[in-house]
């Protein structure tokens, strides 16, 4: 809706479930110059199960929450989870995901990146699901990507010397 009413946009950045929503928009044809997906779940159904488990929510409450969200937003979780459709998206994409993310596991980033042709992944260490949003080196890398400066983008942050020192 934003692209239709306020676009076109040179780029869009989404975090967590917002990144999943951005993936749906891309699959539905939203035209964007570049896209950054931070801590994105590859499956909203899996993410809801993990989230419920983390908070001690019973399966029946979790399922009621899912049904309510689906009614409210008019989209089924199954539709959001069709990441194989990302293979048809032709937009420069950057995934940023922390290896130790305890809310959306790093494996989700690997699954998403594998579906998007030419997508890049920056793996972070020690920033978790939210702190990476405030980490200056991560923000700088995202700004560089959005500006089109992809040559110096690191594959990992923080960048450690090889071999990394043992403390």
- Residue 166: band (very low, low, confident or very high) from pLDDT cuts 50, 70, 90: low
**What value does the mean pLDDT of the chain take?**
91
Q: Is 90 exceeded by the pLDDT of residue 39?
A: yes
Looking at residue 165, what is its pLDDT? 58
DSSP strand E in 6-159: where? 9-15, 32-38, 93-98, 120-124, 156-157
Q: Which two tokens stand for residue 56?
A: 């001690």
Question: How far, in Å, CA of 94 to CA of 88, rounded?
Answer: 16
Residues 6+ apart with CB under 8 A from 39: 15, 16, 19, 96, 97, 98, 101, 103, 104, 129, 130, 132
pTM comes to 0.88
Q: Give the pLDDT confidence of 77-131 residue by residue, as tens digits.
A: 888 888 888 899 999 999 999 999 999 999 999 999 999 988 999 999 999 999 9
């Amino acid at each position: 809706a934003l692209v239709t009413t306020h676009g076109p946009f040179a780029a869009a950045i989404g975090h967590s479930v917002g990144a999943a929503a951005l993936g749906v928009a891309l699959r539905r044809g939203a035209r964007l110059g570049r896209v950054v997906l931070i801590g994105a779940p590859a499956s909203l159904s899996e993410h809801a199960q993990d989230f419920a488990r983390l908070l001690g929510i019973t399966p029946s409450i979790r399922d009621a929450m899912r049904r309510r969200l689906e009614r409210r937003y008019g989209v089924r979780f199954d539709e959001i989870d069709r990441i194989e459709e990302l293979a048809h998206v032709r937009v420069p994409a950057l995934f940023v995901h922390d290896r130790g993310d305890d809310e959306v596991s790093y494996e989700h980033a690997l699954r998403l990146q594998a579906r998007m042709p030419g997508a890049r992944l920056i793996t972070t260490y020690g920033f978790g699901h939210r702190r990476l949003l405030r980490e200056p080196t991560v923000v700088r890398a995202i700004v560089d990507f959005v500006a089109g400066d992809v040559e110096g983008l690191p594959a990992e942050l923080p960048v450690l010397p090889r071999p990394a020192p043992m403390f």
